Chain A
Amino acid sequence: MSDQDRTEPRTAPDGTDQDGTGQDGTGPSVLDRRGFLKAAGFTLTGAVANGCTPAPIDQAIPFLIQPEEIVPGRSLWYASTCGGCTAGCGALVKCRDGRPTKIEGNREHPLSTGGLCAVGQAALLGLYDSQRLTTPLLAGQAADWATVDETLRQRLDAIAARGGRVRLLTETLNGPTERVWIERFLGHFSDARHVVYDPLSCSAISQACRRTHGVALTPRYRFDRAEVIVSFDADFLGTWLSPVEHAAGFRAGRSLEGDPPRLSFHAQLESRLSLTGSNADRRLVVRPEAIPGLLGELTRALARHAGVSLGNGPTPAQAGASAIEPAALDDLATRLWQARGRSLVVCGSQDVDTQVLVNLANHLLANDGATFDLARPSRQRRGDDQQLAELVRELEAGIVDALLVRGVNPVYDLPNGSALATALESEKVPLVVSFASHHDETAAVAGVVCPDCHALESWRDAEPVAGLLSLTQPAMRPLGQTRSWVESLAAWVGAPATARQLMRDTWEQTVYPRRLAGAAETFQNFWDQAVHDGFVEVEVEAEVEVAVDGAPLSFDIAVASRALAAAGQAPAEPPTDAFTLVLYPKVAILDGRHAENPWLQELPDPITKVVWDNYASLSPRAARALGVEQGDVVRVDVGNSDQPVFDGAPIELPVVVQPGQHDRVVAVALGYGRGGTRRFSELGPRWLQGRRTVAPGETVGRNVAPLAIVAADGQRHNHRSGVRVEPTGARYELASTQTYHALAVPDALAPVSGEPRPIVQETTLPAYAKDRGAGAPHGHLPGGDLWPEHPYDGYHWGMAIDLNACTGCSACIVACQVENNVPVVGKDEVRRRRDMHWLRLDRYYHGDLEGDSDAEHEGEHGGGVDVFHQPMTCHHCDNAPCETVCPVLATVHSAEGLNQQIYNRCVGTRYCANNCPYKVRRFNWFDYPHRDPLENLTLNPDVVVRSRGVMEKCSFCVQRIQEAKQQARRQGRAVADGEIQTACQQSCPTQAITFGDLGDPASRLARQVDDPRHYRLFEELNIRPSLGYLRRVRHRQDDEEIDHG
């Protein structure tokens, strides 16, 4: 057993899936585990029956002959691809005794480089969702696959025979197997089309590229190569395109290595406070309508630098004079220009002209091919809003004969979803087939539902970036009678085969020929290696759109100039009492596809810290003007808006007062109001004064997709002008894990007002360049100690968290929750401030929280707020205050510096929690139910499920420490540095967390502790925490006040 055995991903053995039963064996033996158990059970029964004593076999029996790889209690890891969204991050699936118990990032994967976001981690719970469909449905009734196949084959053949129209509507699918089989399936019909859309669409980007570069591609934005990043409303660290990849790249540019230290400059221009904006070095607050004008100004300034003439247009002063200070924009242009070829402009707008300007700016900056990579484009969002609009027209006209829907939920997430539902229900479309795994809004109006397998149950492939194939392999047999949708397609066109076979064949025919020089010699080896690694890099496929002669992509400057002229036309100034409604995705909920996942519903929003709801965010000044405060319900009325409205009914939402937001913007999250969330009415403890998470029959939050705009060109826009917001007088109590937001105490209660507490320390780049220890507060540190220190003969575990790397993305919270069996407690318990997360992310604001400062320029409205993210978990203090106060020694210090919580000794006095300065201890106020036996399969068998009345907290993943120590001991060596990764550390896309042995001077941790940026929180209490932070460095001038805007 080498150390690699433990962490190396396993290859699913070949040749176990020949019988077509979906037995995609993950075990290598001839006899699978279940079969073996059956046989063993039979043998035992026989033996017992021989003794005339009938005995039921109801207990697990150990293997008589141990299959080679299955060791009870030992995990196997399979390389796979995350199915949480379309970004295609590499994942490792941890399987224990035949069931997946955790999804982690794949360190080797070139795209995600080891991290995995909260949604990806939480996808595990979706596998064990008892409300997933387990059988196909025919007209709402459970049916078997043979019947469904027969019915569909007949109907599809009939449609093919009469030349009917078939439309396949899917999310972004970029895997070669799916592409091949979609083509084959659609080729069966004379008029068939594949329409792709993404509920969180980025289609304007590829449309813009079609205009400027002649190819409809989405560039791969290389944040790792960018030294100056200017983002116009693109939440690239949170929800935009490929957040894990971007975060890792962003982090790479801010490593502070070298002399002068390497730290990219990031400016964010946005209307609401996004996760990305919270990390910006400079943040300018503008309303969404101003963005084209600002981009135009920026582009002109860049053109002046480049000496390129872009024709006549309005001067900057005319274009967007009111938006931000011209000097600020000039400064951005200068910075970009100075870093040309190493800079990047990105934009989250869905307006094609605006995206053309982005391309122009990047072209002027010579970023093409460097940070703006079209040679290996992203295929993570390939939706085409214009084709979707065309499809909707067809559907409403009733000229489509068959609609197949896979991976999207148009009835829910399209602005005109309800009209679509009516069209589908009224049998304008004779055949609607849904591949949904749940009985979602679209499946409800589909005649046939053919549930697809969960990503952890199926063979799939993906090509998230051209030339990088990422492979999904099953980690267990399907739990129900679900079937991979590609198998269904193949079955209906008369070529039934297993998904694995389909995929293998495709790879042999289309992928293997693209292998890089020096790749495996036989297809079998190539395939084995790909399955083992979970990905393979191949030659970039020539895109059909690219000119055949292979000439380099040319840039059409004329197109860009026209777009620039269009941007110059300043938008009509909206009435001052009207708001702009901004619809945005939240980090955990995204478009609502995982809304039924309680882990994600209870994951605090990285900015507002609110759980279990969507809400109307208003700036403090706007809230004051409306006379509302947090929790007041307002009516958001789009009825008078001058843009077309799909559902004009005003929508009522509770207010969240959000510093850092534009005063004339009201922001509401998408992805809420999913029908499936009605299930949560039973969630959480029930008691006398307990309230339900949602009232029976109600959903979590409200669906605001109908408030979006579909423009004339089909592009879906997520902001709308001219919206009225009125108070209703009603109150609604939101659930939030943090209710005081400032780093400074209230002015009235502070002897020195406005002084931030030195909790999150930071400095500026120039100060840091001069003095690596800059930013440390002055203060007394305790001197000697009366008592002897803890002797550490062996390991002394510790952790360091780099605040300069942490973006606040919250992946670690879900990672910890999954690893440590942390329960979901429900909305009411969070309202009562009893969330159970062992690891939390504290978010503080500093600056102009109340929106008091007078702003001359729009860019300063709601600006002037700095945001700090601080992961907070048990600090495992050497002189732990919790340890001394426990009367029964239920929390004690280990010989390796861990502060251990002994659950079965705890009597629950809560004294330890009171005495913890970090407030990281969590108490089991109730018996948090584990009623759903299927859901319980997510529980990590290495970690105890805590009962009511005991305290719990972060253990530094002691089960992982023990596992590594046992491994090392078997091999007669010490645990190597980096061998143990805590769950939070593993998941972190920016590798902000380091765990290791403080006693080993060569360890990465020890180097970080020696870093002058390292500080320990509340060191003055002499509690000697084993966890430290590395000070944050912002790329701004010493004298640059945060309210510069």
Chain B
Amino acid sequence: MADLALAGSASTATTAPISTAPTSTASSAANRSLRPPLIAGGKTPSEVTADICQPLERRATPLWWAAFLPSLALLLVGVAAVTYQIRTGIGTWGLNKTVGWAFDITNFVFWVGIGHAGTLISAVLFLLRQRWRTSVNRAAEAMTLFAVMCAGLFPIIHMGRPWLAFWMLPYPNARGSLWVNFRSPLLWDVFAVSVYFTISLVFWYLGLVPDLATLRDRLQKGFKQRLYAFASLGWNGSLKTWQRYEMVYLLLAGLATPLVLSVHSIVSFDFATSVLPGWHTTILPPYFVAGAIFSGMSMVLTLMIIARVTMRLKAYLTDNHIDAMAKIVLVTSMMVGFAYATEFFTALYSGNEYERFAFLNRALGPFAWSYWIMVSCNVLTPQLFWWRRMRRSLPVVFVASILINIGMWFERFVIIVISLSRDFLPSSWAGYTPTWIEIATLVGSFGLFFTCFLLFCRFLPMIAMAEVKGVLSS
């Protein structure tokens, strides 16, 4: 483990000199020689620190401003739209008596899905000893947090009376026996999403602590230094500290792993436990989880490729990383495609006319265009990743990842809107057209997401320095 002992060596003496990353087993060490290095360029630990800290310690680049200002503008558009909507009423959305949910819950499920990649990469891949994760886990976790924040916004603003959103919480109150309804999947959502957000936040923050200490130590004085000092919780880099840190990290990873499965399963219960044809299907939980990982990975790919190009992190986000993530995307795409086919088969085989119609109507009805966008983006596009050259071509992967995210947004739109628009009684069948307010709200959620992400890139190390040092090739 001598090489690894060096990995943690930092530019300052107080930072951890060692990293006992649990990945450093004998077998993986043996394998490593057979694999290309995870970090290119033969970086030394101090170079790593310098590379990763430099964006934080410089003035913001014009490129950063060029990204940040539009993001902020989009966020403000969203804020204006939501303010107007809350002031005037949900009527400013294109919903109607038949289609009670559309953009709102589509966006919610979309963002929750995006939020899956972080935990998957940090916790599941951590437990599975996938050492390449170190380059992407910090950013992926941050992305998770911001995505879940965006997601959490929609169930609140989609309410007719959002100022009463706290009624969804089972808190002691003076309303006698009035309590929340534990039978309602929406309530399960409240718990699932808030637990997921809490664990993700703690996990992310815990991973940040050694790096915050590094940042603290690189500064001599000033407000920023004091802020980093406060946030790094008195990290001293002692062996004992590292040992406890590793243990807590491992435990949290174990805790977070079931959440990867539970959050989206529970989100899918919103639909699966209903009576609506097209929603009422038992396949939804695994299908949603696969879809969430699929979309989350694609979003990670999108962001990583941007970061790699704009922040000159090619050495840390190598083609191997892109390749590995593309493989996950391919696998989950196949799972999602299989789910689409299974759903269709089940519906047609069921002999239930409402069920059959719901699925034929998806593929051939008035919203068929959205169904076929979904299929072509989610099932056909990732087939490119069977070829190694495609997996390693940045433009191809970038475009594909965006298409997949569009496709995954439409998957939720298809499930929610098409199923609602034509259900049991033909008399109630209705269409749906979004209003500008709804579009502005969706755009605003992207504004929120990118604003947060860009601030994160500017003020926190977007690659886990301490962890990367653990996977440097000797």
Which residues of A come within 8 Å of B, CB atoms? 685, 687-689, 738-743, 745-746, 748-752, 755, 757, 759, 829, 832-835, 840, 842-844, 870, 872, 881, 884-889, 905-911, 913-915, 917-919, 921-927, 948-951, 1018, 1021, 1023
Q: Is there a chain A Cβ closer than 8 Å to B185's Cβ?
A: yes
Residues 75-103 of chain B, each 1 if its beta carbon lies under 8 Å from chain A, else 0: 00000000010001111101111101100
A-B contact pairs, 30 of them (CB 8 A): A687-B89, A688-B437, A740-B427, A750-B357, A751-B353, A752-B353, A759-B424, A759-B426, A832-B96, A833-B98, A833-B430, A835-B97, A872-B425, A885-B184, A886-B181, A888-B180, A906-B161, A907-B159, A907-B161, A907-B167, A909-B158, A915-B276, A917-B276, A919-B423, A923-B97, A923-B160, A948-B160, A1018-B424, A1021-B275, A1023-B275
Q: Are B92 and A688 in touch, CB under 8 angstroms?
A: yes
Chain A residues with Cβ under 8 A from B97's Cβ? 833-835, 913, 919, 921-923
- Interchain CA distance A688-B435 in the complex, whole Å: 10
Chain B residues with Cβ under 8 A from A951's Cβ? 160
Select one of B274, B357, B364, B425 contacting A885, CB under 8 A: B274
Chain B residues with Cβ under 8 A from A884's Cβ? 181, 183-184, 273
Q: Are A914 and B274 in touch, CB under 8 angstroms?
A: yes
- Interchain CA distance A870-B428 in the complex, whole Å: 12
Q: Is there a chain A Cβ closer than 8 Å to B303's Cβ?
A: no
- Interchain CA distance A888-B180 in the complex, whole Å: 5
Chain B residues with Cβ under 8 A from A924's Cβ? 89, 160
Q: What 4 A-B pairs are tightest by C-beta distance, nearest first?
A: A908-B160, A949-B160, A925-B91, A910-B100
Chain A residues with Cβ under 8 A from B273's Cβ? 884-885
Q: Are A688 and B84 in touch, CB under 8 angstroms?
A: yes
Which residues of B come within 8 Å of A, CB atoms? 84, 88-92, 94-98, 100-101, 155, 158-162, 164-165, 167-168, 178-181, 183-187, 190, 270, 273-276, 348, 353, 356-357, 360-361, 364-365, 420, 422-431, 435-437
CB distance from B333 to the nearest CB of A (A): 27
Chain B residues with Cβ under 8 A from A685's Cβ? 89, 91
Most B-side CB within 10 Å, residue of A688, A752, A872, A906 = A688
Chain A residues with Cβ under 8 A from B185's Cβ? 885
Given contacts A885-B274, A887-B187, contact A740 B426 (CB under 8 A): yes
CB distance from A884 to the nearest CB of B (A): 5
Q: Given contacts A885-B183, A907-B162, could you give 18 more A-B pairs where the C-beta distance is less than 8 Å?
A: A688-B84, A688-B92, A738-B427, A739-B429, A750-B353, A833-B98, A842-B425, A872-B425, A872-B427, A885-B184, A885-B274, A886-B181, A888-B180, A911-B100, A911-B184, A921-B97, A923-B97, A1018-B424
Which residue of chain B lies nearest to A1022 when distances are taken between CB atoms in the complex?
B275
Q: Are B91 and A909 in touch, CB under 8 angstroms?
A: no
Given contacts A910-B160, A918-B425, A923-B100, contact A881 B167 (CB under 8 A): no
Q: Are B161 and A950 in touch, CB under 8 angstroms?
A: yes
CB distance from B447 to the nearest CB of A (A): 20
Q: Are B161 and A926 in touch, CB under 8 angstroms?
A: no
CB distance from A395 to the nearest CB of B (A): 49
- Interchain CA distance A741-B426 in the complex, whole Å: 7
Q: Are B426 and A834 in touch, CB under 8 angstroms?
A: no
Given contacts A749-B357, A909-B158, contact A886 B275 (CB under 8 A): no
- Interchain CA distance A757-B426 in the complex, whole Å: 9
Select one of A745, A872, A888, A919 contacting B98, CB under 8 A: A919
Q: Are B348 and A886 in touch, CB under 8 angstroms?
A: no
Most A-side CB within 10 Å, residue of B92, B97, B98, B100 = B97
Which residue of chain B lies nearest to A925 when distances are taken between CB atoms in the complex?
B91
- Interchain CA distance A829-B97 in the complex, whole Å: 10
Which residue of chain A lies nearest to B436 when distances are taken between CB atoms in the complex?
A689
Chain B residues with Cβ under 8 A from A910's Cβ? 95, 100-101, 158, 160
- Interchain CA distance A749-B358 in the complex, whole Å: 9
CB distance from A754 to the nearest CB of B (A): 12
- Interchain CA distance A757-B424 in the complex, whole Å: 9
- Interchain CA distance A950-B164 in the complex, whole Å: 11
Chain B residues with Cβ under 8 A from A843's Cβ? 427
CB distance from B178 to the nearest CB of A (A): 7
- Interchain CA distance A923-B165 in the complex, whole Å: 17
Chain B residues with Cβ under 8 A from A889's Cβ? 178-181
Q: Are B275 and A749 in touch, CB under 8 angstroms?
A: no
Chain B residues with Cβ under 8 A from A926's Cβ? 88-89, 91
Q: Are A742 and B426 in touch, CB under 8 angstroms?
A: yes
CB distance from A630 to the nearest CB of B (A): 14
- Interchain CA distance A833-B276 in the complex, whole Å: 19
CB distance from A830 to the nearest CB of B (A): 10
Select one of A755, A834, A1018 contacting B91, CB under 8 A: A834
Q: Are B89 and A948 in touch, CB under 8 angstroms?
A: yes
CB distance from A817 to the nearest CB of B (A): 15
Chain B residues with Cβ under 8 A from A909's Cβ? 155, 158-160, 186
Chain A residues with Cβ under 8 A from B270's Cβ? 911
Select one of A833, A844, A1018 contacting B96, CB under 8 A: A833
Chain B residues with Cβ under 8 A from A752's Cβ? 353
Which residue of chain A lies nearest to B165 when distances are taken between CB atoms in the complex?
A907
CB distance from A910 to the nearest CB of B (A): 4
- Interchain CA distance A343-B435 in the complex, whole Å: 57
Which residue of chain A lies nearest to B348 when distances are taken between CB atoms in the complex?
A751
- Interchain CA distance A844-B428 in the complex, whole Å: 11
Chain B residues with Cβ under 8 A from A688's Cβ? 84, 88, 92, 435-437
Chain A residues with Cβ under 8 A from B431's Cβ? 739, 833
CB distance from A1018 to the nearest CB of B (A): 6
CB distance from B84 to the nearest CB of A (A): 7
Given contacts A685-B91, A843-B427, contact A914 B100 (CB under 8 A): yes
Q: Are B92 and A881 in touch, CB under 8 angstroms?
A: no
CB distance from B80 to the nearest CB of A (A): 11
- Interchain CA distance A884-B180 in the complex, whole Å: 11
- Interchain CA distance A666-B94 in the complex, whole Å: 34
Chain A residues with Cβ under 8 A from B168's Cβ? 887-888, 907
CB distance from A540 to the nearest CB of B (A): 47
CB distance from A912 to the nearest CB of B (A): 9
Q: Are A745 and B425 in touch, CB under 8 angstroms?
A: no
Chain B residues with Cβ under 8 A from A740's Cβ? 422, 426-427, 429
Chain B residues with Cβ under 8 A from A919's Cβ? 97-98, 423-425, 428
Q: Are B89 and A925 in touch, CB under 8 angstroms?
A: yes
- Interchain CA distance A286-B94 in the complex, whole Å: 42
CB distance from A340 to the nearest CB of B (A): 41
- Interchain CA distance A982-B24 in the complex, whole Å: 76
- Interchain CA distance A483-B96 in the complex, whole Å: 46
- Interchain CA distance A751-B180 in the complex, whole Å: 42
Most B-side CB within 10 Å, residue of A742, A906, A913, A1021 = A913
Given contacts A739-B430, A751-B348, A885-B184, contact A918 B92 (CB under 8 A): no
Chain A residues with Cβ under 8 A from B276's Cβ? 914-915, 917
Select one of B180, B423, B435 contacting A689, CB under 8 A: B435
CB distance from B267 to the nearest CB of A (A): 13
- Interchain CA distance A908-B187 in the complex, whole Å: 14
- Interchain CA distance A746-B364 in the complex, whole Å: 10
- Interchain CA distance A910-B183 in the complex, whole Å: 16
Q: Are B89 and A887 in touch, CB under 8 angstroms?
A: no
Q: Are B357 and A745 in touch, CB under 8 angstroms?
A: yes
Q: Are A907 and B275 in touch, CB under 8 angstroms?
A: no
CB distance from B183 to the nearest CB of A (A): 5
Given contacts A757-B353, A914-B100, contact A908 B90 (CB under 8 A): yes
- Interchain CA distance A884-B273 in the complex, whole Å: 10
Q: Are A917 and B425 in touch, CB under 8 angstroms?
A: yes
- Interchain CA distance A592-B275 in the complex, whole Å: 44
Chain A residues with Cβ under 8 A from B178's Cβ? 889, 905
Which residue of chain A lies nearest to B362 when distances are taken between CB atoms in the complex?
A749
Q: Are A687 and B159 in touch, CB under 8 angstroms?
A: no
Chain A residues with Cβ under 8 A from B91's Cβ? 685, 687, 829, 834, 925-926
CB distance from B162 to the nearest CB of A (A): 8
CB distance from B367 to the nearest CB of A (A): 12
Q: Are A888 and B275 in touch, CB under 8 angstroms?
A: no
Q: Are A908 and B161 in touch, CB under 8 angstroms?
A: yes
